[in-house]
Amino acid sequence: MPKTWNETRVAATLGIDYPIIQGPLGGLSSQRLTAAVSNFGGLGSFGAHGLDPHAIQDIIGEIASLTSKPFAMNLWLSMEDDGAASSDAAAFHQALSHLAPHIDAVGGKQPAFSPYKRLRFEDQARVLLDAKVPVFSFIYGVPPREILEEARKQGIVTIGTVTTVEEAVVLEQAGVDLVVASGFEAGGHRGSFLRSSEDSLTGTISLVPQTVDAVTIPVIAAGGIADARGIAAAFALGAEGVQIGTAFLACKESGAPPVHREAILSHHAGHTGLTRGFTGRLARGIQNELMESMNRSGAEILPYPLQRSLMRHLAAPAQQAGKAELLALWAGQSANLVHCVAVEDLLNSLVRGAAARIPSTRDSYSQDKAPTPAI
Ligand SMILES: Cc1cc2nc3c(=O)[nH]c(=O)nc-3n(C[C@H](O)[C@H](O)[C@H](O)COP(=O)(O)O)c2cc1C
Strands 157-162 and 135-139: parallel
Residue type, 96: L
CA angle 162, 126, 124 (to 5 degrees): 60
Nearest CA to 189 out of 324, 92, 328, 31 is that of 328
Residue type, 102: H
The model's confidence at residue 273, banded by pLDDT at 50, 70 and 90, is: very high
Given ligand 1 and candidates 20, 25, 78, 225, which is best to mutate, with the most ligand atoms within 8 Å of its CB? 25
Report the distance separating Cα 123 and Cα 145, nearest Å: 15
Q: Is 90 exceeded by the pLDDT of residue 369?
A: no
The model's confidence at residue 344, banded by pLDDT at 50, 70 and 90, is: very high
Output the pLDDT for position 269: 83
Measured from the Cα of 226, ligand 1's closest atom is 27
- Mean pLDDT of all residues belonging to the chain: 95
Output the pLDDT for position 298: 83
CA angle 263, 266, 271 (to 5 degrees): 75
Cβ-defined contacts of 36-40 (< 8 Å, 24+): 36/253, 36/343, 36/344, 37/248, 37/343, 37/347, 38/67, 38/69, 38/70, 38/71, 39/66, 39/67, 39/69, 40/343, 40/344, 40/347
Output the pLDDT for position 192: 97
Q: State whether CATH 3.40.630.30 applies to domain 9-80+118-251+338-366.
A: no
Backbone dihedral region of 83: left (phi > 0), alpha (psi from -120 to 50 degrees) or beta?
A: left
The model's confidence at residue 299, banded by pLDDT at 50, 70 and 90, is: confident
Report the distance separating Cα 112 and Cα 99, nearest Å: 13
pLDDT in tens, 34-83: 999 999 999 999 999 999 999 999 999 999 999 999 999 999 999 999 99
Q: 224 in ligand 1 pocket by Cβ < 6 Å?
A: yes
Output the pLDDT for position 340: 86
Q: Is 80 exceeded by the pLDDT of residue 374?
A: no
**Residue 185 half-sphere exposure, CB side, CA atoms within 13 Å?**
26
Output the pLDDT for position 305: 97
Whether 134 and 70 have beta carbons less than 8 Å apart is answered as: yes
In sequence order, the β-bridge partners of residue 189 are 283
CA distances from 56 to 61, 75, 133, 289 (A): 9, 10, 11, 34
Q: Is 60 exceeded by the pLDDT of residue 362?
A: no
pLDDT in tens, 127-167: 999 999 999 999 999 999 999 999 999 999 999 999 999 99
Q: 150 in ligand 1 pocket by Cβ < 6 Å?
A: no
Measured from the Cα of 187, ligand 1's closest atom is 25
For residue 361, the CA-to-ligand 1 centroid distance in Å is 31
Phi and psi angles of residue 91, each rounded to the nearest 5 degrees, phi first: -65, -40
The stretch 86-91 carries a mean pLDDT of: 96
Output the pLDDT for position 373: 61
Output the pLDDT for position 361: 67
The stretch 19-28 carries a mean pLDDT of: 98
The stretch 2-19 carries a mean pLDDT of: 96
Backbone dihedral region of 153: left (phi > 0), alpha (psi from -120 to 50 degrees) or beta?
A: alpha
Q: 192 in ligand 1 pocket by Cβ < 6 Å?
A: no
Report the distance separating Cα 54 and Cα 249, nearest Å: 25
pLDDT in tens, 192-226: 999 999 999 999 999 999 999 999 999 999 999 99
The stretch 356-373 carries a mean pLDDT of: 69
Measured from the Cα of 335, ligand 1's closest atom is 26
Whether 64 and 54 have beta carbons less than 8 Å apart is answered as: no
Nearest CA residue ID for atom 17, ligand 1: 23
Output the pLDDT for position 267: 84
